[in-house]
Amino acid sequence: MRILTDKRGLSPVVATIILCGVVLVLGIATWSLTYTVSSNLQTSYYEDIKKQIDRISERFTLEHIAYSSTELTLHVWVYNYGDVDIEVIQVVATGDAEGGNNTAIPVTHGKMVKIEISLNAMKGDELSITVMSGRNNFAYATYIVPYT
């Protein structure tokens, strides 16, 4: 009966319970926030590094170049010999004749694609050809339009 009637010490107990409740609520909120932030950081960090890994894994070359004087077209064969698929976003020919192709062309790894550039070149013209991928890698080649 004394416990029920004796109010001494009740406030500190209630205060302790409230304090613990506040600590728990704040702690769980902090935990939840930290967990979310940390998960997002993990994902975004992985995605950033994955982009860099893909960028450094890209390997492609201008395997063959040919000019057709009847079609007035420069044919460029791009070979993707890297481990990742690439997208050729720009092929530019500069030098004695100029032209370009800005169509995005996907090239699966291990495959080759032919890209056409419309330009009017003469026999003996020297061309510098630049191929740019979507990950900002480049491949270069020079080509002299043959006399034969």
Partner 1 sequence: MHTQHILSRIRNAKSGIATVLGMLIFIGVLFTCVIPLFLHVNQVNSVYDQTVVDMKRFDENREEERIDVYAYPLSTDSQFLNIYMMNKCPLSVKIVRVWVNNIPFEYSFDIPAMEDRTIESVDISKILPNTEIFNIKVTTFRGKIFPSLSNPLYYRGGWTGGGLTIQIVVETQTIEKTRFFHIIVTDDCQGNPSYTYETDVVKRPHQSSCLAVATVYLTGTYYVTVKEAGVIIPPENQLVVVSQNNPSKWVYFYA
The reply to whether 7 sits near partner 1 by the rule CB under 8 A is: no
Enumerate long-range contacts of 112-115, CB under 8 Å, 24 or more apart: 112/63, 112/77, 112/78, 112/79, 112/80, 113/77, 113/78, 113/88, 114/75, 114/76, 114/77, 115/75, 115/76, 115/77, 115/78, 115/88, 115/91
The reply to whether 144 sits near partner 1 by the rule CB under 8 A is: no
Least Cβ distance, residue 134 to partner 1 (angstroms): 18
The reply to whether 108 sits near partner 1 by the rule CB under 8 A is: no
The reply to whether 124 sits near partner 1 by the rule CB under 8 A is: no
# of chain residues touching partner 1 (CB under 8 A): 44
Rank residues 22 and 104 by Cβ distance to partner 1 and give the closer one: 22
How far is 21 from 100, CA to CA, in rounded Å? 68
Query: Measured between alpha carbons, how far is residue 114 from residues 19, 77, 120 in Å?
Result: 72, 4, 18
Least Cβ distance, residue 94 to partner 1 (angstroms): 22
* Interacting residues with partner 1 (CB under 8 A): 2-3, 6, 8-9, 12-13, 15-16, 19-20, 22-24, 27-28, 30-31, 34-35, 37-38, 41-42, 45-46, 49, 52-53, 56-57, 59-61, 63-64, 66, 75, 77, 79, 81, 110, 112, 148
